[in-house]
Amino acid sequence: MTVATVFVVDDDPGIRFGISLLLETAHLKAQCFACAEDFLAICAAPPAGCLLLDVSMPGMSGPQLQDELLRRRIHLPIIFLTGYADMPTVVGAMQQGAIDFLSKPVNGALLLERVHGALERYRIQHEAQTKRGLLLNRLRKLTPREREILGHAISGKSNKHISADLNISFRTIEGHRARIYLKVGVASLLELAQQAALVDVSLADVLQA
């Protein structure tokens, strides 16, 4: 996995310097930006890490940047930094997925604690996304017939009933199911269901991968 970075977006150079120094003393990689637009310029690929984001900035505000990241399907854990934020701003940002609001001047120990929590959240999200992609890629290797049989199996039908429904032999159904499990990397339908649930893959996703 790419080394996680703490991205700091704040128009105040003193705050950027202070936070970057604090992060570096804690052996955390930091990258600072004076405005939201500069940060977006490096987001051609989803960045890895978390985001410390000022609420009020010239040009695009912090909440507006959050909205744009969501539009681009970039899901970085966001900690907002603010000198003052009205309740609607706080509630709106939290509803959009922000994990915290910290008031300026920020307590260093508290900031590091929240940053470590945000980086851990990113790590968990990244691992889940990787496993989800791996499972979907394996499911895409199924043939149309295997996908059809898997659909019947997921609906709760036994091999005997699937055989009757599709007018093919029982042993052929057994062979197809064995190949399905081999391609997906599971030992049973139950294990497939458990893996899918762990990475938020629905039954519809399984059959439409």
Assess whether 72 and 99 both reside in one domain.
yes
* CATH code assigned at 175: 1.10.10.10
Give the pLDDT of the chain (209 residues) as one tens digit per residue. Answer: 467 899 999 999 999 999 999 999 999 999 999 999 999 999 988 899 999 999 999 999 999 999 999 999 998 999 999 887 677 787 888 888 889 989 888 899 999 999 999 999 999 988 888 888 899 899 999 999 999 999 899 888 999 999 999 999 999 999 999 999 999 999 998 899 888 888 777 767 777 76
Give the CATH number, domain containing residue 91: 3.40.50.2300
Please tell me whether residues 117 and 157 are part of one structural domain.
Answer: no
Q: Are 114 and 191 within one domain?
A: no
State the pLDDT at residue 94: 82
Compute the distance between CA of residue 50 and CA of residue 67 in angstroms, rounded to an integer.
Answer: 16
* 72 and 157 together in one domain: no
The domain boundary, picked from 115, 132, 149, lies at 132
Domain boundary among 85, 107, 132: 132
Same domain flag for 40 and 66: yes
- Let me know whether 37 and 62 are in one domain: yes
Dist CA 196 CA 132 (whole Å): 8
Model pTM above 0.85:
no
Contacts of 177 (CB under 8 A, 6+ apart): 149, 153, 159
Sheet holding 100-103, edge to edge: 30-33, 5-9, 49-54, 78-82, 100-103
Residues 56 and 146 occupy one common structural domain: no
Question: First and final CA of the chain: distance in angstroms?
Answer: 25
Partners of 50 in the beta sheet? 6
CA distances from residue 155 to 58, 152, 189 in whole angstroms, order as listed = 55, 5, 11
| Full residue range of the structural domain in which residue 186 is found | 140-208
- The answer to whether residues 48 and 150 belong to one domain is no
Where do we find the tokens 């499990």? 181
Residues 162 and 126 in one domain: no
Of 80, 114, 132, at which residue does a domain stop?
132
Q: Are 56 and 149 found together in one domain?
A: no
H helices, E strands: number in the chain:
10, 5
Give the C-alpha separation, 162 to 102, whole Å.
58
| Whether residue 151 sits in one domain with residue 113 | no
Question: What is the CA 57 to chain-centroid distance, rounded?
Answer: 27
Number of domains in the chain: 2
My answer on whether 27 and 110 are in the same domain is yes
